[in-house]
Amino acid sequence: MMIRTGTCVVAGVALLLASGCGSGSKSGSAKEMTVTLSEQNGSGESGKATLTAEGDRTKVVLNLQSKSATASATRQPAHIHRGSCDKLDPTPAYGLTDVKGGKSTSTVDAKLDDLRKGSYAINVHKSAADIKTYVACGDIGKGKSGGGGGGYGY
């Protein structure tokens, strides 16, 4: 009985170790990351951006929640800027599809690894008419500064 129990334990541990090996990928692997988009200027808008590597390009999906995120809501310009939410370069590095009803899907000509290693932020504006008012922002990558309501997760 003791030998069987010991054998079962050894076999179980070996099975657990073997299942832990393999591809080494995880949900927040190098192929995908999630950026928290935090409210700015009392907008009541927040959400997340999912960035997915597609070769030399990156797919960016924005999902914002707010009371005004309806199908008839005003389109909101969105961009990836150099810098951080605390210190944003006002000139967009990459344009994103306008947010409509809280949603936007775009593909940019930048590798996800480059965005992650650099200092970039995703920024959403109130409207094309009020482009200077930021409603949500999230920092991407290692170059991010603290605070600013951004962040990244894996």
CA atoms within 13 A on the CB side of 22: 8
Tell me the C-alpha distance between 139 and 141, whole Å: 7
Q: Is residue 133 part of a domain?
A: yes
Quote the CA–CA distance of 118 and 139 in Å, as a whole number: 10
Q: How far apart are CA 80 and CA 88, in angstroms?
A: 10
- The whole-number pLDDT of residue 73 equals 72
> CATH number for the domain including 119?
2.60.40
Neighbours of 137 (CB within 10 A): 25
Kindly state whether residue 70 falls inside one of the protein's structural domains.
Answer: yes
Q: Nearest 5°: CA angle at 95, between 121 and 97?
A: 105
In a domain, 96, yes or no: yes
pLDDT of 87 higher than 50: yes
E strands, 1-56, are 32-39, 46-54
SS3 22: coil
Q: How many domains does the chain have?
A: 1
Residue 15: predicted pLDDT = 36
Query: Which range of residues forms the domain containing residue 143?
Result: 32-153
- Segment 43-67 shows an average pLDDT of 93
17 falls within a domain:
no
Q: What is the pLDDT of residues 13-27, one digit of tens each?
A: 333 333 333 322 223
